């Protein structure tokens, strides 16, 4: 139970010694397991069947079907999922169009493959990869597009598929943050050559570590299955060089149990997003995230963009003030990928939107466990801080 204090408009900010909107912090995420999740994992422990087995198969069948994909393959984590898809779909030396605005794995695994990432800028309202910028950056050496459905909102799939069709490019979608997102009424697993997922501890479907690749081509499913497990086609018969990127049944059992609740939890995230949209609609200088037309986002993150000219403080100062009022925030991401030391050699200084976003976005708490009280606290804190810091 939060202890909310009535802080009338104009009262001092908590960060300056005033009374906070709430003395207890709104939880930024909800990661607790239920007794059913724990029972599911315990049943696997009791069985002694700890390897990739029936629970992994169940997770593949159910998650694949919910995502609109024909084939699904569990794996160790979302980074391995990207590696498996990339190794199956392009070669060292190929150019791959990648988002400048994403988590690093989308791009670093292109580099790990020995391919050359070509940074594509983000759209300023949806934060998703800009298909027009991608079109400008296609060269004869381009072989693939690796696009992230960022924050849970789908990219402009039609535009990217059309671009890929014109140039014969493979398309890999990184859906680590976008479980159950849809585009034009279909699950995002229906599109592209491969879609990759992460089930990291904080993701919408969280198994601790874990990942998945979905595809629609059976031959590609076979290749990825081989890469996942040392290219083994029969006991100790190895058709190609591969890895051990398998999931285990303890992890998969937690995934299956949590999958029972994922659709309802996704609806709850969407309802929170609509509440935040309404609050932000009334605050000049704070912009709600837009969704690609035709897409339905799942709000892994709810990311707000500040118009810095409208405030007397920086984004980080604004977030520090929100925290003092009882509202934690997070920055996804403090640096655009071309400015990461690990990737700077691929930076051509041609992704201005992504660089700009890194100075002015912040994420609000969003998950299925937020109460009315929490939502009111977030709304009041946003209004209070925005009012106090207005330029
Ligand atoms: C967009 C994106 N891609 C890939 C990954 C990597 O997933 P994992 O942490 O499971 O390796 C993440 C996880 O944070 C992510 O957010």
Distance from residue 65's CA to the centre of ligand 1 (Å):
22
Cα 211 from chain centroid? 13
pLDDT band, residue 9 (cuts 50/70/90) = low
Beta-carbon contacts of 144 under 8 Å, excluding residues fewer than 6 positions away, are 86, 89, 90, 94, 96, 97, 115, 169, 170, 171, 172
d(CA 175, CA 184): 16
CB 160 within 8 A of CB 146: no
pLDDT of residue 346: 98
> Closest Cα to residue 79, out of 108, 111, 119?
108
Q: What mean pLDDT is predicted for residues 346-371?
A: 98
Distance from residue 278's CA to the centre of ligand 1 (Å):
30
pLDDT band, residue 11 (cuts 50/70/90) = confident
What pLDDT, in 10s, does the model give residues 314-336?
999 999 999 999 999 999 999 99
Give the number of the atom of ligand 1 that is nearest the alpha carbon of residue 209.
Answer: 10
d(CA 242, CA 227): 4
Distance from residue 203's CA to the centre of ligand 1 (Å):
9
DSSP at 103: -
Residues in the chain: 391
**Which helix (H) or strand (E) is 295 found in, with range?**
strand 295-296
CB 366 within 8 A of CB 152: no
Beta-carbon contacts of 181 under 8 Å, excluding residues fewer than 6 positions away, are 149, 152, 153, 154, 175, 187, 188, 295, 296, 297, 298
d(CA 339, CA 149): 21
Cα 216 from chain centroid? 22
DSSP at 24: S
pLDDT > 70? residue 248: yes
Domains and CATH numbers, the chain: 35-257 (3.40.640.10), 262-388 (3.90.1150.10)
Distance from residue 268's CA to the centre of ligand 1 (Å):
23
pLDDT of residue 281: 97
> Closest Cα to residue 327, out of 95, 20, 18, 25?
25
What pLDDT, in 10s, does the model give residues 251-280?
999 999 999 999 999 999 999 999 999 999
pLDDT of residue 1: 45
> Closest Cα to residue 186, out of 291, 62, 295?
295
Query: Which residue's CA is the nearest one to ligand 1's atom 7?
Result: 78
pLDDT of residue 2: 46
Place of tokens 């024909």: 70
pLDDT band, residue 10 (cuts 50/70/90) = low
pTM, 2 dp: 0.97
C-alpha Rg value of the chain to the nearest Å: 22
CB 25 within 8 A of CB 374: no
Beta-carbon contacts of 13 under 8 Å, excluding residues fewer than 6 positions away, are 321, 324, 325, 384, 385, 388
Give the number of the atom of ligand 1 that is nearest the alpha carbon of residue 210.
Answer: 10
Mutation test residue for ligand 1: of 200, 213, 303, the one with most atoms within 8 Å of CB: 200
* SS3 state at 147: strand
b or e along 164-189 (b: 16 or more beta carbons within 10 Å of the residue's beta carbon)? beebebbbbbbbbbbbbbbbeeebbb
Q: Which residues line ligand 1 (CB under 6 A)?
A: 77-79, 102-103, 105-106, 148, 174, 176-177, 198, 200, 211
pLDDT of residue 8: 55
Q: How many CB atoms lie within 10 A of CB 360?
A: 17
């Amino acid at each position: 139970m939060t202890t909310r204090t009535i802080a009338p408009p104009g009262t001092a900010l908590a960060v300056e010694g005033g009374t906070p909107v709430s003395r207890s912090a709104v939880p930024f995420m909800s990661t607790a397991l239920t007794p059913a999740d724990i029972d599911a994992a315990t049943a696997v422990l009791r069985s002694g069947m700890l390897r990739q087995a029936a629970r992994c198969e169940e997770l593949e069948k159910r998650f694949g079907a919910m995502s609109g994909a024909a084939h699904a393959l569990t794996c160790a984590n979302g980074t391995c999922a990207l590696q498996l898809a990339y190794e199956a779909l392009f070669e060292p030396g190929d150019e791959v169009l990648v988002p400048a605005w994403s988590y690093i794995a989308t791009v670093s695994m292109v580099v790990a493959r020995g391919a050359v990432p070509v940074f594509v800028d983000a759209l300023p309202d949806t934060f998703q990869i800009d298909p027009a910028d991608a079109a400008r950056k296609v060269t004869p050496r381009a072989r693939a597009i690796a696009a992230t459905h960022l924050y849970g909102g789908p990219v402009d799939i039609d535009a990217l598929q059309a671009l890929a069709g014109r140039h014969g490019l493979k398309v890999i979608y990184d859906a680590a943050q976008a479980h159950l997102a849809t585009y034009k009424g279909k699950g995002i697993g229906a599109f592209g050559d491969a879609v990759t997922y992460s089930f990291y501890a904080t993701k919408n479907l969280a198994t601790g570590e874990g990942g998945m690749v979905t595809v629609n081509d059976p031959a590609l499913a076979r290749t990825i299955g081989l890469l996942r497990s040392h290219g083994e086609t029969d006991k100790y018969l190895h058709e190609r060089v591969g890895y051990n990127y398998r999931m285990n049944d303890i992890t998969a059992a937690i995934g299956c149990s949590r999958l029972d609740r994922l659709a309802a939890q996704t609806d709850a995230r969407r309802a929170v997003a609509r509440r935040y949209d309404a609050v932000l609609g009334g605050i000049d200088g704070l912009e709600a995230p837009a969704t690609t037309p035709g897409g339905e986002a799942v709000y892994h993150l709810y990311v707000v963009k500040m118009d810095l000219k409208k405030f007397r403080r920086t984004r980080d100062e604004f977030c520090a003030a929100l925290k003092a009022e009882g509202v934690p925030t997070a920055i996804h991401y403090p640096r655009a990928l071309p400015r990461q030391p690990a990737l700077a050699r691929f930076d051509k200084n041609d992704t201005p939107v992504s660089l700009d976003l890194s100075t002015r976005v912040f994420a609000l708490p969003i998950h299925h466990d937020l109460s009315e009280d929490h939502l009111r606290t977030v709304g009041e804190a946003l209004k209070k801080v925005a009012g106090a810091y207005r330029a």
